Amino acid sequence: MRRNPGLVVGAAMVALVVVIAVISAFWTPYNPTEVSPNRLLPPSANHLMGTDGFGQDIFSRVLVGARSCLLVGVVAVGIGALLGVPLGITAAVKRHSWFGTLIMRATDIVYAFPALLLAIILAAARGSGSTLTAMTAIGIASVPAFARVSRGAALQVLSQDYIVAARSAGITSGGIAVRHVLPNIAPVVLVQVSVSFGLAILAEASLSYLGLGTPPTTPTWGRMIYESQPYLYSDLNLALWPGLFIAIAVLGFNLLGDGLRELVDPTLQDLDR
Amino acid sequence: MIMMSDELLRIEELSVRFAGSSRNALEKISLQIGRGERVGLIGESGSGKSLTALTIMGLLADNAKCRGSIRWQGRELLGLRDAEYSRLRGEEISMVFQEPMTALDPTMRTGRQVAEVLRLHERAPVGKARPRVLEMLADVGITDPQRVADSFPHQLSGGQRQRVLIAMALINTPDLLICDEPTTALDVTVQARVLELLRSGLDRAGSALLFISHDLAVVSQMVDRIAVIYQGRIVEAGTRSQVLENPHHPYTAGLIATADLANVAPGARLPVLDDFWKRAADGQR
């Protein structure tokens, strides 16, 4: 742990985002969607981060934005992991059959398909941009990463003696996949969860920036940057704060992922001892 | 074909070849094991001992092609679907592996791993499995079965893990137990104890045994009949005394002489396999 500062810093940054998300559920200094005549105020004691073009308190909006940022991460990564991990394990178990190949080629196709384009198509199909559409699109786009990572890890686990021993005890391939492969690849999947979480937050910010993400009534960091565009030259303040928090969240999850990877990787672990 | 009622396993002319290889890894192996019989399979590394075991268990990789026949209680096993095979494995035929350090799942408590095998075949509910698992662990000489059952594999010693694996293999009282060098990874004192436990476990379960090893001393303690495998072929087979006292094949003679270090005069060169093998090869050619 001492030699893994990335893990500590990353965890602290993620914790900060989680804490402000929790705080925002109970308390914000102002109603984050309340429009007031106090437009474009600089940071002050009354408005810690100033106000935006509609007179809304930026600090309150940043706090609330943490909530949707985490929600997007959880749902998108959840979709990615719940679909990708079983697909990857199945592909590993069925590696010698056409079915395993089919799974991996199908995920390759999804992998090659740009996530933004997918979100635009989904948004078009559903009529308008909504948080759910964005989350689904980001989730689907992260399925291949989960499938590949878990297939690779599962292949390694499947070649272990205890898998042969489990098979010799009569445990079926389904039982082996659920009870023996899944727990053994969990650390690797956890690393991917952390990395994908950062990517999902960034993707949601991009989608919101393009107006494809959350509706205007829900403040998100990406949307706040989008709305700050007319004032970029006069009031940088509007884009600075949400941008800073996007950076904190994405960097935090990536550092956490890298730190976890170092913790999980047996070769690096041996060096530590 | 009329089967003798006491015949369990009949391997006939079994050949195994891996894709991309020009020669057979196993060449026309034939071997019979009767009910309750204990048979040893001796050979050096790479001779095909473990491959024979894996073939019987139906655990070969997909790139291996098998020819010949493996009959289990009159039923052909080659070409059996994996789902049907897995019903046989652990229930009628079970196996103990060489390397106790890696043959247990590191993420699962040992008690659960033993219970998993029991429940799978007996459909015992969770609560009922535990007493049986503890009893089985005690049977294989584990003094504190409660603690061992609640431990993860890395918390146990090699000898304890091998006992757990033997408990797993015997808990469903299989008709045949295949042991693939079960004591090779253990030190000598633990080895003797584990062999003793294995013997008493087999007595209790009434199981037949296929004992695979390169160690003549260990094999001769465990079995009634011996088959010697060399380069994928069975070169000699017979009762223990036939093979050990009157070996026909020079490879067997060499194996026995090299194992018998007590009779080498002090200061004399130790015998090696080639002494016998070359002499015989010169005579034959």
Minimum Cα–Cα distance from B112: chain A residue: A179
Average pLDDT over chain B reads 87
CA of A163 to nearest chain B CA: how many angstroms apart?
A: 8
Residue A34 CB coordination number (10 Å):
11
Query: Contact B104/A170, CB-based, under 8 Å?
Result: no
Q: Are residues B137 and B174 in the same domain?
A: yes
Chain Cα centroid distance, residue B230: 17
pLDDT in tens, B122-156: 666 666 788 999 999 998 889 999 999 999 999 99
CB contact under 8 A, A183 and B108: yes
Q: Which domains does chain A have, with CATH numbers?
A: 5-14+74-272 (1.10.3720.10)
User: Chain A closest CA to B174's CA: distance in Å?
Assistant: 11
In a domain, B2, yes or no: no
Q: Are the CB atoms for B82 and B267 separated by under 8 Å?
A: no
* Domain contains B160: yes
B233 strand-pairing partners = B230
Q: Does residue B57 lie in a domain region?
A: yes
Beta strands B7-18; B64-72: pairing state: antiparallel
Contacts of B121 in chain A (CB under 8 A): 170
B272 or B112, higher pLDDT: B112
Q: What are the structure tokens assigned to B81, written together?
A: 């679907």
Confidence of residue B1 (pLDDT cuts 50, 70, 90): very low
Q: Do A170 and B57 touch (CB under 8 A)?
A: no
Tell me which amino acid residue B40 is: G
Q: Tens digits of per-residue pLDDT, B190-243?
A: 888 889 989 999 998 899 999 999 888 888 889 999 999 998 999 999 999 888
CB contact under 8 A, B90 and A179: no
Average pLDDT rounded to a whole number, residues B238-251: 88
Count of C-beta atoms within a 10 Å radius of residue B65: 13
Residue in this structure with the two tokens 């396999």, named with its chain if needed: B273
Chain B residues touching A179 at Cβ < 8 A: 108, 116
Q: Which candidate from B59, B99, B165 shows the least CB-CB separation from A167?
A: B59
The 10 Å Cβ neighbour count of residue B77 is 21
**Which among A96, A162, A167 has the least Cβ separation from residue B105?**
A162
> B163 and B34 in one domain?
yes
B232 and B263: one domain? no
Backbone angles phi, psi at B222, to 5 degrees: -105, -25
Q: What does the pLDDT profile of chain A (273 residues) look like in tens digits?
A: 557 888 999 999 999 999 999 999 998 888 888 888 888 888 888 888 888 888 889 999 999 999 989 999 999 999 999 999 999 999 999 888 899 999 999 999 999 988 778 878 887 787 666 778 888 889 999 999 999 999 999 999 999 999 999 999 989 889 999 999 999 999 999 999 999 999 999 888 888 888 777 777 888 898 899 888 889 888 888 999 999 999 999 999 999 998 888 887 655 554 443
Looking at beta carbons, which residues of chain A come within 8 Å of B90? 168-171
Give me the interface pTM, i.e. the ipTM: 0.84
Asked whether residue B108 is assigned to any structural domain, the reply reads: yes
* B25, B159: one domain: yes
Domain-located, residue B1:
no
Residue B148 and residue B51 share a domain: yes
| B26-34 vs B176-180, strand pairing mode | unpaired
Residues B284 and B236 grouped into a single domain: no
Do the Cβ atoms of A170 and B120 come within 8 Å?
Answer: yes
Task: Judge whether residue B10 has pLDDT over 80.
Answer: yes
Burial of A127 (0-12, 13-18, 19+ CB in 10 A): exposed
**In the predicted model, is pLDDT for residue B283 greater than 80?**
no
Same domain, B36 and B155: yes
CATH code at B163?
A: 3.40.50.300
Count contacts between A and B (CB, < 8 Å).
73
Give the number of other Cβ atoms within 10 Å of residue B71's Cβ: 18
How far off is chain A from B210, nearest CA to CA, in Å? 15
Q: Which residue of A lies nearest to B56 if distances are taken between CA atoms?
A: A168
Give A96 to chain B, closest Cα distance, Å: 7
Mean pLDDT computed over B92-120: 89
Q: Residue B105: exposed, middle, or buried by beta-carbon count in 10 A (0-12, 13-18, 19+)?
A: buried
Q: How far apart are CA A188 and CA A150, in angstroms?
A: 7
Nearest to B121 among A170, A183, A184 (CB): A170
Considering the domain architecture, whether residues B139 and B252 belong to the same structural domain is answered as no
Nearest to B89 among A169, A175, A183 (CB): A169
- Across the interface, of B94, B99, B120, the residue whose CB is closest to A168 is B94
Domain that holds residue B186: 7-246
B129 part of a folded domain: yes
Query: Which residues in chain A have Cβ-Cβ distances shorter than 8 Å to B103?
Result: 161-162, 164-165
Give the pLDDT score at A128: 61
Nearest-neighbour CA in chain A from B109: distance (Å): 12
**Rounded CA gap, A175 and A85, in Å?**
15
Do B45 and B184 lie in one domain? The reply is: yes
Record: contact A184-B105, CB cut-off 8 A: yes
Give me the number of domains chain B comprises: 2
Does B126 reside within a domain?
yes
Classify B13 as helix, strand or coil: strand
Residues B285 and B184 in one domain: no
Q: How much is the pLDDT for A271? A: 47
User: Are B139 and B266 within one domain?
Assistant: no
pTM, entire model: 0.82
N-terminal to C-terminal alpha carbon distance within chain A: 12
> In this complex, which of A164, A168, A184 lies closest to B90 when CB atoms are compared?
A168
Q: Which of A160, A164, A179 sits opposite B116 (nearest CB)?
A: A179
Percent of chain B with pLDDT over 70: 92
pLDDT confidence tier of residue B57, bands split at 50, 70 and 90: very high
Inter-chain CB proximity B108 and A180 less than 8 Å: yes
Q: In this complex, do A161 and B103 lie within 8 Å of one another by their Cβ atoms?
A: yes
Q: Chain B residue with minimal CA distance to A95? A: B62
| Paired tokens of A228 | 């700050």
Residues of A in contact with B83 (CB under 8 A): 172
Closest Cα in chain A, distance from residue B158 (Å): 14
Give the separation between CA A223 and CA A210, rounded to whole angstroms: 8
In the prediction, which pLDDT does A266 show? Answer: 55
Contact A169 B102 (CB under 8 A): no
Q: Are residues B172 and B272 both part of a single domain?
A: no
> Cβ–Cβ of B97/A179 closer than 8 Å?
no
Please judge whether B107 and A183 are an interchain contact, meaning their C-beta atoms are less than 8 angstroms apart. yes
pLDDT at B121 over 70: no
Cα A149 from Cα B96, distance rounded (Å): 32
Which residues of chain A does B99 touch, with a Cβ-Cβ cutoff of 8 Å?
Answer: 161
Q: Using the beta-carbon criterion (under 8 Å), do B95 and A168 form an inter-chain contact?
A: yes
Does residue B171 fall inside a structural domain? yes
